[in-house]
Structure 1
Amino acid sequence: MYFVDRRDAGRQLADLLKHLRRADPVVLAVARGGVPVAAEVAEALDAPLEICHVSASSHTPFADEQPLDVDGRTVIVVDEGLVTGATARAACRVARDSGAARVILALPIAAYDKTPRLYDVADELICIHAPQDFVSVADAYAQLPKVPDAQIIELMEAAAKRAYQSAADDIVAEHANVSGRPGAAEGSRAQVPSGDSTRLPGVLAVPQNPVGAVVFAYGSGTGTAGARNRYVAQYLHSHGMATLLLDLLTEPSAIDRRTVFDIGLLGRRLADASAWLRGQPGLGRLPLGYFGAAAGAAAAVWAAAEPGADVAAMVLLSGRPDLAGSRRLASVAAPTLLIAGARDAAVLDLNRRAKLRMRCANQLLVVPGADNRFDDPRSLAVAVRLAEDWFTTCLSTARGPAGEKVR
């Protein structure tokens, strides 16, 4: 025997594959036995893990629920061992048909006389042992129990968590680089007039050649002062969007709970701020987006549902859009992204209900590990990237070929 168990085989195999870490690979496990082996490889290479199901009878791939996201990538196909080569061949074909630029077949052990026949489907073959008398994978392991569904689920969830954390770290680092540059969006302070004669504190930041403008709706009076709000605004600004941070409530009224949840008042003030923004030089014809949080999410819904609002996109982060009421939710035309934290069961449920009442294009995305405040930098970074993607897509779509807004 050559290996204690599949994890031992995976660790040994990972040692031979460390040079591929720079290739940003995807590890493709041949189910079932290949999953524990591939999980060790994926962890060592800090690579995403996918599963390929192949039929034992026909050796053709089953149709997965979602296609593999490997277009243009290096794919490392991993199995627990190879005797005939049929399943490995099928898995390599799946990778190739899914658009992989390079396919590498990696095995702890394989029959010596079968390996040369795989170079027509794999660009490279990496194998620890290739004995001439190899006839059974079970002979290579001291322990080779069946792999239950629960173990596969656990391994895939662990891989997904690593990928999520890695992606979030990249976004945090990206924003740190942007916000740390000289001239990063600080914006200019403004007093935004509203129809009820209140002047609302705001901060307006405009990049060169903006693709759109995003107004931030917060009902708590901390819109311009909150570190989270500035973080989101700076990130959107760095991706070509003008941003208006806005306090919908002045400090005295922000402590009155009746005013905090007066959605009509907040919504009207947001609509007034939008009209003011469109009157600023160079911003009048830009597609408009709303970013709402907490009660500000309801204010964004209220304002976007107004006749002639002409809002091109909305993102509602850990918000209470339900407070705007069913009629307003149903009247919104702007494509809307709702983002909620997985650990905030109450708000998540309210967002699900609000989504059902909306007739516009909409999507609800749940951020793992996040609570209602999104205090964890990784969770907030993921949410901000989701918001940026949504605004970039929707605001760009709302512009004509020459940069003019489509009306």
Structure 2
Amino acid sequence: MFFKDRRDAGRLLAKKLARYRGTNAIVLALPRGGVPVAYEVARALKLPFDLMLVRKLGVPGHEEYAMGAIANGDVQVLNKDVIEDLRIPAQLIAAVAKRERTELERRNEVYRGGEGAPAVEGRTVILVDDGIATGADMRAAVAALGTQHAARVVVAAPVASYQACSELREIVDEVVVVATPVPFGGVGLYYLDFQQTPDAEVVRLRSETEVPTSWWH
């Protein structure tokens, strides 16, 4: 299955999430690729939309292969199988995490102007990305939500690996995807247009669907 682009994928994903239309849910996107997808989901479901800032910890030399991920609130999730298989030393993990933490802080300043995340207590949170391969990013996002007392956490993506979906179902209330190809290739293989989403597009889309002020910490 091929999606035309992320916006097209978001519209298809929204159909799978139709039961949340007009509820107290909030859609949180994993930048940058998840933002156009989540924007279409939020628009179709008439829900507030914002960002869940997460950074992948890529294996040096193979950055698209996740050995873990970090999220706001000093959250770090490690892919222990990858780390053990590749014998990645702790010092190297720490160095990559430090670099990605700097980028996470930069993005928070650029995308949010340094604001905090929206309050999610008692609400359904729909976490959206453009695809899920290992699931490390999503696990970090879920961990970051762990102390915020969301009523329900839903992970959603247009395409995901079967293994990642199985693992995520153990830690969230629901996983919603359009397609789970077997075998699973890279996320970009399922998009006709998979160009990188620029920072300016993230800022623009976020500004078009503002979260009510009463939802901020």
With normalisation by structure 1, the TM-score equals: 0.39
The two structures, once aligned, show a CA RMSD in angstroms of: 1.9
Aligned to 1:62: 72
Q: 1 CA distance for matches of 2:55 and 2:119?
A: 21
SS in 1 for 2:182: coil
In structure 1, the gaps of 5 or more residues are 168-384, 386-407
8 Å Cα contact 1:93-1:121 kept in structure 2: no
8 Å Cα contact 2:162-2:180 kept in structure 1: yes
Aligned to 1:98: 148
Aligned to 1:135: 185
AA of the residue aligned to 1:51: L
Aligned to 1:126: 176
Residues 64-79 of structure 1 mapped to structure 2, 5 A cutoff:
65-79=115-129
Q: Which one scores higher on RCO, CA 8 angstroms, separation ≥ 6?
A: 2
Are 2:47 and 1:37 aligned? no
In structure 2, the gaps of 5 or more residues are 58-67, 74-107, 109-114
1:93 positional shift: 2.1
Residues 202-351 of structure 1 mapped to structure 2, 5 A cutoff:
none
Larger radius of gyration: 1
Aligned to 2:133: 83
Aligned to 2:82: none
1:22 positional shift: 4.2
Aligned to 2:157: 107
Give per-residue Cα distances to partners, 1:267-286, cap 9 Å, x unaligned: xxxxxxxxxxxxxxxxxxxx
8 Å Cα contact 2:22-2:47 kept in structure 1: no
Q: 1 CA distance for matches of 2:177 and 2:49?
A: 19
Q: 2 CA distance for matches of 1:96 and 1:103?
A: 10
Q: 2 CA distance for matches of 1:50 and 1:96?
A: 18
Q: 2 CA distance for matches of 1:95 and 1:47?
A: 19
Give per-residue Cα distances to partners, 1:331-386, cap 9 Å, x unaligned: xxxxxxxxxxxxxxxxxxxxxxxxxxxxxxxxxxxxxxxxxxxxxxxxxxxxxx9x
Q: In the comparison of the two structures, how many residue pairs are matched?
A: 164
SS in 2 for 1:97: coil
Aligned to 1:5: 5
8 Å Cα contact 1:31-1:51 kept in structure 2: yes
SS in 2 for 1:114: helix
SS in 1 for 2:126: strand
8 Å Cα contact 2:24-2:124 kept in structure 1: yes
1:68 positional shift: 2.9
Aligned to 2:208: 158
Are 2:158 and 1:148 aligned? no
Aligned to 2:105: none
8 Å Cα contact 1:26-1:75 kept in structure 2: yes
8 Å Cα contact 1:96-1:103 kept in structure 2: no
Give per-residue Cα distances to partners, 1:206-249, cap 9 Å, x unaligned: xxxxxxxxxxxxxxxxxxxxxxxxxxxxxxxxxxxxxxxxxxxx
Q: 2 CA distance for matches of 1:55 and 1:108?
A: 20
SS in 1 for 2:137: helix
1:27 positional shift: 0.3
Q: 1 CA distance for matches of 2:123 and 2:188?
A: 32
SS in 2 for 1:152: helix
1:49 positional shift: 0.9
Aligned to 2:101: none
AA of the residue aligned to 1:11: R
Are 2:78 and 1:28 aligned? no
Structure 1 residue ranges (4+ consecutive) displaced by more than 6 angstroms after TM superposition: none
Q: 2 CA distance for matches of 1:94 and 1:23?
A: 23
AA of the residue aligned to 2:192: A
SS in 1 for 2:167: helix
Q: 2 CA distance for matches of 1:112 and 1:150?
A: 33
